Every structure is written in structure tokens, then in C-alpha cells.
Structure 1
């Protein structure tokens, strides 16, 4: 990565105008499944099914009750984002009150948020898009609905719901790729200009889609990130089956010495580096709690 130089900056005389564009931020998985407290390292989370209560007649004996545990194995996964500057950019930022450093570094957090999706949905490294061996991910689910371009989008959603219901789960959540979400967002009634799904938002913020808690992000398909086309358009089901948490959040660190990212010695290149890291822990309790909606492969 080429270090930022002062030539990249617009140095104002009096007024600071925002010049950094916003980036899509957030995580569908973080929006649709609650985080759980975690300690560092491998571990497991347990849920229990204790069945139903027993009726006891007058003077009758009580029978046994059962408790069946479900164990979800959790592993740690570390992600980082490192940005280099020339020393001159640091000086310019201080002298001209640009606030460049804080603005650019604010973009690190969304990248680390998206990493949860790229790993949790696909099991890939967001840099390069290659699969990570042993990384638990929802794309490993075998319940799939194939979508062809002529399908009404609600037909695909209904079929996915049926698969999840048949597995004994309630399909309360849906994560959508923007290309698929737009099919719902642009749908109109017959001979009407009224939207069929006016409550659906094309953002990671949770909205409603036919009774599902919906979240939309490019991370669902990982288009432009995954090394190979995932074909994934949507993940439907009970996303509480994806258990995740933050095991360690390593705050912003300024590095002035050494070669922290393989791009050469900082002092020799008159550079400084800023790095932020996060260690997630996650696991999947039961893949049958979700169904995937995928693009049908031609052939």
C-alpha cells in the first residue's frame, strides 16, 4: 500500500471542508444476532432444551424431566487494519487543523465490522478473499434455494422459510445482498405505483421484510472481495444460531519504528503507521437454522 503524502491533501487557508467520502459500514451479522460476552481463546456456549412441563394428577407420581444441551464451539479470529502516512502528513494535519488522521482512522472501524460478515458468512480473509481453513461460516449450510432471474423474489424467500421451518426453527431473520434486496425494494403492485415493501431499507440497519428482521450489505455476496463468486444472495433463518462476541479490541496504536506490515522500515521511509486490531470469537450452533438463497448456476 502506498503511504499517503501531502500531495493527496487539499490544504485550506481558513475553512475546513469535509473531503473524505463516507464508506458503507456495519455488519449484517452484528445487526441480526446479539453479541455474547467472551473471554479470549477457544471455548463453547451452551443452550438447553428442557422440553415441556408435565401434568400431575391428584395423588399421581411425578415423572422424570429431561434437559438436552446443545454446544456451540467458539474460536478466536483476529483482524487488523494498518494505515501508513509520511511524517509530513502528520505535520500538515497538525498545522492546518485538517483532522485528516482522525477522519481516515474512523474508516478503520467499518472495515473491522465488515470483517465479521466476510468471515461469518463466507469464511474468507477480507484481504484477498481466500478461504480461511477451519473458519466457521454460514455458507456451509446445505439448505439452499436456487434463484433464477425470472423468479419473483418473495417466492425464493418463501421457499427458504419452508426449509427453515421444516428443520424446526423460526425464520425470523434475513440478510440480503443489495442486488437481491433491490428486487423487493423496487416491487410495485399490479397497476399501482405503491411499493409492496415500503418498510425495507437498503442498509445494514434492521428493517422489516415480510415479517423478517432484514439487514442489507454487500458483505452477504462478498462481491469484489471473495476470490471466487459466492453466488450468495441471502441468508434466511434464525440467525441467533450464529454466536459471536468481541474477545479483545486493541485500540488505535501509532507505530513509529520497524516494519509492521512488510512495506519497509518506517524510519527509513520517513513514515508512521496507525493500526487497530480486533479479535472476534464466533461459532455456529446449528447450520440447519438457516437456508441460503443462491444464484442458479447456468448449465
Structure 2
């Protein structure tokens, strides 16, 4: 695999997910990574000249980000290897781009919902993910912006920051379709709501991974608001080399040589920790 293609794939994997757009990645060592947190911030003290200094010790705790490996293995006919060089590179680039999209979506689906993208099922052994938050707002009116205000209120009244918003495309359309009393668009800057980048001053990112589709059954979640800057600590612990596999059965689909195939494998090890109480979930009402 040409190195320039490989580097581009890894770079794009880091930047195309909803989570990556709203929450900056940070360096992490491989394995479990501990973060020290103050749960009782120290307070400063004004001291008069010649007076004694009092103790200002604060309390602290720690949380642990755990590694999660995501992989994509794609098969294609080995005849591609016999084509001219330009054609080969074109095929590999297309396959690589598809793999990058899959890995980016895996970050969202795992970190937001604990969903395994390949099966669409919940990974029951994972207990640290954004939508485990108990701060929930059920969509009850046609005014989608009212639901956002309610969700923000849950956080602000709990002394939590709101600096990001992940929006499902269906909800983006609902926001863009709101009208004023005289029939004009309430938020004209949203256009048709197909690429909302901010809403009422809060950075936003759109993606259908918010609702978990199409990899899984629609979760009913339409937006997530909260502290994307500090409420998510994530990084890429390992960029494993892109690999062209020419022999064996790397994915349980049969021997490559027998089927006249080769395989392309991309792997990334993510690490993350989520403070779920710093997020509020906007979701459809339970039937």
C-alpha cells in the first residue's frame, strides 16, 4: 500500500466523525489511560502581611479511558493486482475511503451508543458511553428548538457547560422548517438544515450516527447537547498499518487463494472516557 494513501486514510479517520468534529482528540498511550480529576477544587486565600497561611488542599479522583479496537476487512478480486498501476491505485483509494468512513462511524457508534457497527447490536459489556446519560428530553411539540432549550436547561441548572451539539439529519430538517408567526423561516441561516455547523451560538455537527442508523435500528435519539470539550476524553492509541492480505482466511469468509481474492484491512485502536452526566439527550417520545 503506497504510504501517501495510507497516511491520508489515517488522517481522515481522525476528522470525519461527529465526535471528532466537536471534541478534540488528545495523545494517549496504548492501554488504559488514567485522568486525574479534582472533585473539590482548591480555593485561594488572601493573606495579610505577617499572617499565617491556612491549608487549601482540594480533593481529587481519577477515571480510566479504555482501549477499543475497530477494524475493517474488505475483500476484492485479485485481478486488480494485474491492472495497470493507475487503475490499481484508484481501486485501492476507493476501498480505503470506504474503510475510513467505516472507522469514523465506529468511533461515533461506540462512544455515543456502545453499538457494534457490523452487527448493529449493543455491546453489553461496555458501560461508558454518552447516551447512558439520565438527562433526557422527550420530543413533545412541533417546536424542535424548544426541546433544545429544555436540554440545555437541564445542563446549565446542573452547573454543566454546553459547548457542542450533535444533530441527526431528521432533526436538522425539523429545526430548519420552523416558521415565525408571519410564515418566514425562524432560523434562515440553517437553509434546509442539511449541514448545520452551529445553532444559537453553539457549535454543531450533523450525522446519522446520532440516531445509530443505518448500522442499527433507529435509537430514536435526535440530538445530543453538552460538554463535548471536556466531557469526552478520547484519542487514537494506535494507527495499525494498512495491510493487503493475499493468503489465508482473515475474516472467516473462505480461503483467499481459493476464491481468487485479496483483502484490505484497516485497524485503529481508540481510547475514550465519557462523563455522561455532562450531556443531555433529545429523543422521540416512547410509544
> What is the Cα-based RMSD across aligned positions, in Å?
2.2
**Distance change >3 Å, CA 52–CA 95, structure 1 → 2:** closer
Measured in 2, the distance between the counterparts of 1:289 and 1:207 equals 21
Alignment length, in residue pairs? 269
Unmatched segments (≥5 aa) in structure 1: 1-24
Q: Please name the residue that 1:181 is paired with.
A: 172
Is the aligned partner of 1:223 residue 2:213? yes
**Distance change >3 Å, CA 97–CA 272, structure 1 → 2:** closer
TM-score, structure 2 as length reference: 0.86
Measured in 1, the distance between the counterparts of 2:59 and 2:86 equals 64
Measured in 2, the distance between the counterparts of 1:76 and 1:137 equals 13
**Distance change >3 Å, CA 178–CA 95, structure 1 → 2:** closer
Is the CA contact (8 Å cut-off) linking 2:80 and 2:88 kept in structure 1?
A: no
Is the aligned partner of 1:249 residue 2:239? yes
Measured in 1, the distance between the counterparts of 2:89 and 2:21 equals 33
Secondary structure of 1:251's aligned partner: strand
Is the CA contact (8 Å cut-off) linking 1:248 and 1:278 kept in structure 2?
A: yes
Is the aligned partner of 1:141 residue 2:130? no
Q: Please name the residue that 1:234 is paired with.
A: 223
Measured in 2, the distance between the counterparts of 1:41 and 1:215 equals 29
Larger helix fraction of residues: 2
Aligned with residue 109 of structure 2, among 96, 114, 118: 118
Moved more, 168-177 or 52-61: 52-61
Give CA-to-partner distance per residue, 1:95-116, whole Å, 9 cap, x none. 7567122222222112101110
Give the superposition deviation at 1:36. 1.6
Is the CA contact (8 Å cut-off) linking 1:84 and 1:273 kept in structure 2?
A: yes
Question: Where do 1:60-79 residues align within 5 Å?
Answer: 60-79=51-70
Give the superposition deviation at 1:235. 1.0
Give the superposition deviation at 1:193. 3.6
Measured in 2, the distance between the counterparts of 1:83 and 1:103 equals 11
Aligned with residue 194 of structure 2, among 197, 202, 207: 202
Unmatched segments (≥5 aa) in structure 2: 1-14
Give CA-to-partner distance per residue, 1:79-129, whole Å, 9 cap, x none. 111111112233235475671222222221121011100000100100111
Measured in 2, the distance between the counterparts of 1:210 and 1:55 equals 39
Aligned with residue 45 of structure 1, among 35, 46, 66: 35
Give CA-to-partner distance per residue, 1:226-246, whole Å, 9 cap, x none. 2x4311111111122111100
Is the CA contact (8 Å cut-off) linking 2:177 and 2:185 kept in structure 1?
A: no
Give the superposition deviation at 1:270. 1.1
Is the CA contact (8 Å cut-off) linking 1:173 and 1:212 kept in structure 2?
A: yes
Give the superposition deviation at 1:153. 1.2
Give CA-to-partner distance per residue, 1:243-276, whole Å, 9 cap, x none. 1100111121000000001110011111111111
